Amino acid sequence: MPAARMRAVVSEPRSGHDPGMPSPIYLDNAATTRPTERVARAMQDAQREWFGNPSSKHAFGAGPKKHLADAREFLRGTLGAAEIVFTSGGSEADYLGIVGAASVRSPGRVLMAASDHPAILETAEPLGRMRCHVSVLPVTRDGDIGAETLFNALGADVRVVALMHGHNELGTLSDLEELVALVRRTSPEAHVHVDLVQSYGKIPFDLDAMDIDSVAVSAHKFHGPKGAGFLGLSSKARIGALMRAGGQENGLRGGTENLAGAIGTMIAAEDALLHQRRSKERMESMCQLVEDAVRDEFPDARRLGNPDRRLPHILSLQIPGIVGESLMLRCDVRGVAFSIGSACHGQTAPKRDPKKPDNHVLAAVGMGYQEAREVIRVSFSRETTLEEVEIAATVIVEEAQALLRASPAAGGRR
């Protein structure tokens, strides 16, 4: 393709937005966030100025090596971790934390929840090849593991326990302190891995104080780059390498390091932590604004997840009589984007029971097929404005009303 044409293609807007219309409003930040200008500039500078291989012994490797070490040390400090292993994102960090921990232990059981992210649940296959048995535990209506359920599943044969700190679809924050204490009392040798993908940078967290062995973090969930993340390890964590290659990352993850990604992650983390308290309060108020607007018109609407322990940026709503996908598509036409679940649900999953939800999370919390179809997920970020939320709330309510009017059955219920 000629260079001029290539530039033209790259510069074309990809959202289909009409320049004469109001700017589209993005409320799917649990799926991904937009990198800040500061992150983008720092990464561009790193690509140009520090292009040398950090493993090279000559002068061109010294600068990249130092910047990589600085990023690693900063991120290590944000968690109270003993070691940081850079990965391609949260999914790889989950995989390395769970499967890597099982690989250095004798065969036994690995515990996880039925509502967990696919990045955790899909470790079952490699764990099976290691002769580990995966126990998928039932969850509460809020999507987290109950203390009694975990206690009953623990035992001397448990090798790894995988937990999610903040649920990506329901917004529920698990009671990690209680759950980890149970593991340490009953299965003291088990490796405790925690998925921090949705909560890092939004909720204060200290790996060392929590007595957790490993945590997974993904940069693009807090205005950092895609394809970058890390596994945080405690001083007593034992994990094995799953990709040795060149021996990078202290032998735990081979391959030339993504310096620009590491720097972008560091900058994004610094900004997130600097604004953490204020951002948390703003996003909580945004969730409440949309919830109130919907419930004013649809009193039967309900917010999913735990009402007392929840992430500040995720609002999962069921609006009876309104098909979530239809509402999402109608709002998208009007420039308001949100989702009906995680962007990471497998596209090739086998067909489930038609009476049960296709969404494994909503099935795990006991929702029926029709109920699950009525769920939407709206998620905010530090960059979301109050004006955007007010407009979005109006659009969501108006389009939900239009759908209700078009449905005789739903109109009759109302």
State both tokens at 16: 């289909």
CB 264 within 8 A of CB 219: yes
- The residues pairing with 214 across neighbouring beta strands, listed in sequence order, are 193, 233
3-class state of residue 117 by DSSP: coil
CB 93 within 8 A of CB 252: no
Q: Distance (Å, rounded) from C-alpha 311 to C-alpha 98? A: 24
Q: Distance (Å, rounded) from C-alpha 314 to C-alpha 218? A: 17
Tell me which of 132, 287, 331, 344 is the catalytic residue: 344
Is 344 considered catalytic here?
Answer: yes
Residues 6 or more apart in contact with residue 317 via CB below 8 angstroms: 290, 291, 294, 301, 302, 303, 304, 375, 376, 377, 378
Which regions of 167-220 does DSSP assign to beta strands (E)? 191-195, 214-218
Could you say which DSSP state residue 384 is in?
-
3-class state of residue 364 by DSSP: helix
Alpha-carbon torsion, ordered 271, 336, 197, 70, to 10 deg: -30
> Which residue, chain included where needed, has tokens 């001397």?
156
Q: Distance (Å, rounded) from C-alpha 237 to C-alpha 245? A: 22
259-274 and 59-79 helices cross at what angle (nearest 10)?
Answer: 30
Specify the length of the chain in residues: 414
Residues 6 or more apart in contact with residue 153 via CB below 8 angstroms: 109, 111, 135, 137
Question: Which amino acid belongs to residue 89?
Answer: G
**CA angle in degrees (0–180, nearest 5) for 407-412-414:** 95
Q: Distance (Å, rounded) from C-alpha 201 to C-alpha 227? A: 18
Q: Distance (Å, rounded) from C-alpha 404 to C-alpha 414? A: 9
CA-based nearest residue to 326, from 369, 374, 368, 361: 374
> Which residue, chain included where needed, has tokens 């308001």?
336
Residues forming the active site: 344
